[in-house]
Structure 1
Amino acid sequence: MKIVLCSINSKYIHSSLGVWYLFAAAKKINTPHTVTVVESTINNQVEDIVAMVNREKPDVVGFSTYIWNVEYVRKVAATLKLINPNLKIWLGGPEASFDADSLLKNNYVDWVVKGEGESAFMQMLSDNFTTPAKTVVTGPCCEYINPYTPEYLAALNGRIVYLETSRGCPFSCGFCLSGRDENVRFFDMEESKKNILLLANSGTKTVKFVDRTFNCNDKRAREIFEFIAGEREKGNIPQDVVFHCEVETDLFTQSTLDYMKTLPKGLFQFEAGLQSFNVETLKAVNRRTDMPKLVHNLKEIVSGGNIHLHIDLIAGLPYEDFNSFSASFNQAYDINANVIQLGFLKLLKGSTLEKEKKKYNYRSRDYAPYQVVSCDSISYNDLLELKKCEDAVERLLNSGKFPFTVPYLIKTTGLSAFDFFYKFGSFIFDSGIKSPSLEKYASLLYDYFTNHYNADKSALRDVMVKDRIIIDNTGRLFGFTHVPDTNFKIITTALRQQTVNVFENQSEKAAKGKIGFAILYATNRVILADYTDQDPVTGIYNYKLIDLHQFLPVE
């Protein structure tokens, strides 16, 4: 028989881990059946995905289902069944596990695999797929099967790779599925270390640990940190490979926090879920977090300056109204993380909140990703208002394009962080401008705050110029900040001839256009950036501020 395992990913840069676990499971039992993996994305047309799968002439097709692809899977599976009514189709993954009975009602679905798929798939292969139709096959926990086969590595093509060193989660948050009926199982440390080296040298730039709480065992997390740092120092891990972990920061010991400050800059990215600062909200979603310790530890991580930090908030949780959420946001902003993801609650099938939806009067879409549109605590209109704030947060903060402009405007206007993003996001929305370019967006920012908050035009122009020079390696200013000045030629000559020495190998860099500069007129200084020296955490190029008179000839 010919079996196709199909994964429809959210982006091309992503790779699928689930289908490759199953592929490796088939190899482990030396199945006589032919098993092939087909990967595509939700950006492809349904007909293109159908053609890719049908080209393999399969007898059986298995799909990995998630909230981002289940609607595509439904369409692809239904079409494949129309083309070949004898084709057997089964669905696995989170969406199948917690919505099995509903999915089986579709005439194009023969089986649903619930839970872990490796053991179930091996049994189905051994039984030659004779499992009675319309059956839910429960996959028990199984011993670790290494998914990183030669076929997996050959299919990567530099995409993001995913690595599991543990399975399960010690927590049972009401909005999540990760901790449902699972104990944490840690995989063999030595095999995990071998996989780290294998994947780091696969051509990828990012290795993402998919452990649900990477540091639930502080000692184990520390051992992995030390291993990665040590192997990188030995030259066994490429300098440009980054490791991404989801962490619960209140679980870190002070010893580990101190150690993490010694890690190479940019080697690790942390994603830390805050969700809310509202005590009643956290209790309602069974979020057992020591918030003072969590905030302290997050600030400790930020103070090291060597780890890119991403923190999450969720709008729509129980007891979190608009004002409460704004307070949570302000507290999150004060942590000074690199990214604040402002997410909106989705009532995942099988989650505690989905089961308690009547308790909180939740109204949510009945199709994936099941986003909440209102509840007792927050109205649909208020959620729409938060969407305006989210857009501004993404463009101004998370993009990393305005590292000095944002704090400057918050300080000089006296606005809270939330009000700053919300008011400007509302202005953009109300203006009706759709998807403005970066330059247009920056000019709107300048106009809004100079017109509505009397921001100092010269000072704001300078701070925006500073951000542009230290972030964008073209050295090109936004048109609205450009000031023609004959001193530009004088400064360029000084840099090339090194009459003013600012950077190492300055003359050579200047000749190759690797030094950007601009004049800051409010302070009579020159901002200079070395485009060969970029901070891997912030994306900011090494820069210097020099008094303008140092570049000018003495009169």
Structure 2
Amino acid sequence: MRILLTTLNSKYIHTNLSLKYLYSVVADSGLDVELREFTINNERDLVFGEIMRGGYDLVCFSCYVWNIEQIRSLCSDLKKARPDLRILLGGPEVSYESERFLRDNPWADFIIRGEGEKPFSQFCRELISGNRDFSKVSSLTYWGLDTVISNEAGSLPYMDRLPFPYTYLEVETDKIVYYESVRGCPFRCSYCISSVDSTVRELSLERVRRDIGYLMYKNIRQVKFIDRTFNYNKARAGEIWQYIIDKDNGTTNFHFEICGDLLDSDSFRILSKARKGLFQFEIGVQSANPYTLREISRKTETAGVLQNISKLMELETIEVHVDLIAGLPCEDYRSFAESFDRVYAVHPSVLQLGFLKLLKGTRIRREAERHGYVYRNKAPYEVISNKYMSAIDFVKLKMVTTVLDLYYNRGGFQRTLEFLIEDMEVTPFRFFERLADFYYSGKYHMASHKKEDLYRILYRFAMKQEAKFSGISTRAEHFLTLDLMDTLNPEVVRRFMEKGWELK
């Protein structure tokens, strides 16, 4: 019995922690189990050919919104080529509406719903025994003789009993290493699948110290904690941060998703000791509209969150990514612009504009009709419009996102952006809105551009403002020059000056 654990990651540097857990729980079972990860950017024929050449009896896919459509197509072809091949699916994209998924996709044989370690271990025991009595496998949905059967969910394992995957697998030092110290989330945000089960289970501090100590010993470039709200327990978070600071190897960066309003004086006292580049935080503000926050059951106080983000930025050692979500209930275009301006005012390292996805299993998907949601039929089920914003509003926000990523999130334009926003006497959102209109009307979005050409495009934008703001392009040229000299290497700057500001 040859078994393949696989998935299609969104990028090469990403890895799949779930598969590593599954591999670890059966590594000593005697089964012939292989783990291989591909990406959504791999050629379809390459992935198909590699799986076919492997001669597997069972192929197990980890399914998410970013890969489910490609997995559907790939598995359909695999089943046509090898009717005897058994296909098992797991992951959030198939854990909800699993019976319907099997009926709609006859190439699929089994689905493990939710956490997979215990069911997968039970499943493999049935394979080893030869009995194949799948009724004994908890959380399994599968085909019976002529109907789909869903077994009841079993108890969840204690976190410390889960294996540390890198006991069995090599650490991939050229990729992001994902790590999990907590499962579940105490909060009930209506758009998040973590809200479906508010149970929180955590690894012991002793286990966390041992695990991340090993990863630091291996000089991993980045360890990304996938805990939904890492600092839900402030004291525990502080102890882990302190341990990392004490054992810092000078190389590894640790990424955490945190709740901004849970940071307190003890948190800042600890974090103030971290070297620059040791920590990276992702903080979901999502909206500054109090009606929106109430509607999505997000109990945060925006002013306090923004104040703490500002304090983090003042440390000048932690990269802070702040998230806003366009398309939440009760937030129209104007309200979103106000949320944007409030977040922009604290100058986060990165301001990420995401668009609401109505994920399977979430409350907001069940309430779609009440809010007038129109969303894409296929994953990732992104919003098209709702009763608060039209489809063209979302298109305009996508345009703003494009120029925000190019000119703010990528860095290198800080002085110029500050100058233009102040000199044009506009809010940050209105500035990026106007820049987006210019960028798209000039068809600059139709091609990729070198960094130095982005300076030329922004100069052209400044020239376009001359009719209303006399002399603005000359002043903008001064700040653009300072920015590009700080950002680009001297040889590129020299060539830029020889070529000048014309975009050819």
Which residue identity is paired with 1:255?
D
Q: 1:130 to 1:435 in 2, by over 3 A?
A: farther
Verify: 1:451 aligned to 2:442, yes or no: no
Match status 1:368 vs 2:383: no
Structure 1 residue 483 displacement after superposition: 8.9
Specify the code of the residue in structure 1 equivalent to 2:4: V
Which has the larger displacement, 429-438 or 248-257? 429-438
Letter in 1 for 2:126: D
Where 2:420 maps in the other structure, the secondary structure is helix
Report Cα offsets for 1:423-458 as digits up to 9, x if no partner.
Answer: 101111122221341333321211211331445334
Structure 2 distance, partners of 1:379, 1:91, is 36
Q: Deviations over 1:128-186 (max 9, x none)?
A: 154263444546422231242355225x2521000111111011101111121231111
For the pair 1:103 / 2:101, whether they are aligned, the reply is: yes
The answer to whether the 8 A contact 1:281-1:318 is kept is: yes
Q: Secondary structure at the match of 1:194?
A: helix
Contact 1:229/1:263 (8 A) holds in 2: yes
Deviation at 1:3, TM superposition (A): 1.1
Structure 2 residue 39 is the aligned partner of structure 1 residue 22: no
Secondary structure of the corresponding residue to residue 187 of structure 2: coil
Paired residue total: 476
Q: How does 1:78-477 map to 2 (within 5 A)?
A: 78-105=76-103, 106-128=105-127, 129-131=132-134, 133=143, 134-136=148-150, 138=153, 140-144=155-159, 145-153=162-170, 156-232=172-248, 237=249, 239-433=250-444, 434-437=446-449, 438-452=451-465, 453-477=469-493
Q: Aligned partners of 2:166, 2:53: CA distance in 1, in Å? A: 23
**Structure 1: gaps (5+ residues):** 485-555
RMSD: 1.8
**SS state at 2:489 partner:** coil
Q: Is the 8 A contact 2:225 2:254 kept in 1?
A: yes
Q: Kindly provide the CA deviation profile for residues 227-283 of structure 1, in whole angstroms up to 9, marking residues without a partner as x.
A: 001001xxxx2x121110000010112221233122111110000000100111111
How many angstroms does 1:32 deviate by?
Answer: 2.6
Q: For the residues of structure 2 that align with 1:245 and 1:98, how far apart are their CA atoms?
A: 27
Change (3 A) 1:99 1:152: farther
Q: Does the 8 Å contact 1:276/1:282 carry over to 2?
A: yes
- Given that 1:112 and 1:135 are in contact with CA atoms closer than 8 Å, whether structure 2 keeps it comes out as no
Q: How far has the Cα of 1:481 moved from its partner?
A: 5.0
Q: Is the 8 A contact 1:120 1:140 kept in 2?
A: no
Q: Identical aligned pairs, as a percentage?
A: 33
Residue of structure 2 equivalent to 1:497: none
Query: 2:260–2:309: 8 Å Cα contact kept in structure 1?
Result: yes
Q: Counterparts of 1:47 and 1:139 in 2: how far apart (Å)?
A: 38
Q: 2:447 corresponds to which letter in structure 1?
A: S
Specify the alignment match of 2:137 in structure 1: none
Match of 1:49 in 2: 47
8 Å CA contact 1:115–1:140 kept in 2: the answer is no
The alignment partner of 1:476 has SS state of: helix
Cα distance in 2 between the residues matched to 1:5 and 1:218: 36
Q: Describe how 1:536-555 pairs up with structure 2 within 5 A.
A: none
TM-score (norm 2): 0.91
State how far apart, in whole Å, the 1-side matches of 2:460 and 2:496 are. 10
SS in 2 for 1:421: helix
CA contact (8 A) 1:413 1:455 kept: no
Partner of 1:502: none
- Distance, in Å, in 1 between the alignment partners of 2:167 and 2:183 is 23
* 8 Å contact kept, 1:215–1:248: yes
The corresponding residue for 2:35 is 37
Contact 1:449–1:455 at 8 Å: present in 2 too? no
Give the SS at the match of 2:6.
strand
2:75 is aligned to 77
d(CA) in 2 for partners of 1:114 and 1:312?
A: 29
Report how far residue 51 of structure 1 moved: 1.7
**In structure 2, what is the Cα distance between the partners aligned to 1:31 and 1:413?**
67
The answer on whether the counterparts of 1:469 and 1:476 sit within 8 Å (CA) in structure 2 is no
8 Å CA contact 1:206, 1:244 repeated in 2: yes
Q: Take 2:266 and 2:157, find their aligned partners in 1: how far apart are those partners? A: 34
Matched residues in 1 for 2:471 and 2:181: separation? 51
Q: 1:461 to 1:153 in 2, by over 3 A?
A: same
Q: Is the 8 A contact 2:462 2:473 kept in 1?
A: no
- Structure 2 unaligned spans of 5+: 135-141
Shift of 1:314: 0.6
Q: Which amino acid aligns with 2:100?
A: S
Shift of 1:202: 3.2
Q: Is the CA contact (8 Å cut-off) linking 1:178 and 1:212 kept in structure 2?
A: yes
CA distance in structure 2 between the partners assigned to 1:448 and 1:301 by the alignment:
33
Alpha carbons 2:187, 2:198 under 8 Å: kept: no
Q: CA separation in 1, counterparts of 2:300 and 2:385?
A: 26
Contact 2:58 2:86 (8 Å CA) reproduced: yes
The Cα offsets for residues 513-546 of structure 1, whole Å up to 9 and x where unpaired, read as xxxxxxxxxxxxxxxxxxxxxxxxxxxxxxxxxx
Deviation for aligned residue 1:70: 0.6
2:440 corresponds to which letter in structure 1? Answer: F
CA distance in 2, matches of 1:57, 1:416: 60
Deviation, structure 1 residue 310: 0.4
Contact 2:7 2:37 in 1 (8 A): yes
Farther-moved stretch of structure 1 (102-111 vs 112-121): 102-111
Question: Counterpart amino acid of 1:343?
Answer: G
Report the AA paired with residue 10 of structure 1.
S
- Matched with 1:59 is 57
Q: Is the 8 A contact 1:62 1:89 kept in 2?
A: yes
Deviates more, 1:255-264 or 1:92-101: 255-264
**Larger displacement relative to structure 2 (51-60 or 422-431):** 51-60
Paired position in structure 1 for 2:138: none
- Indicate conservation of the 8 Å contact 2:407/2:413, yes or no: yes
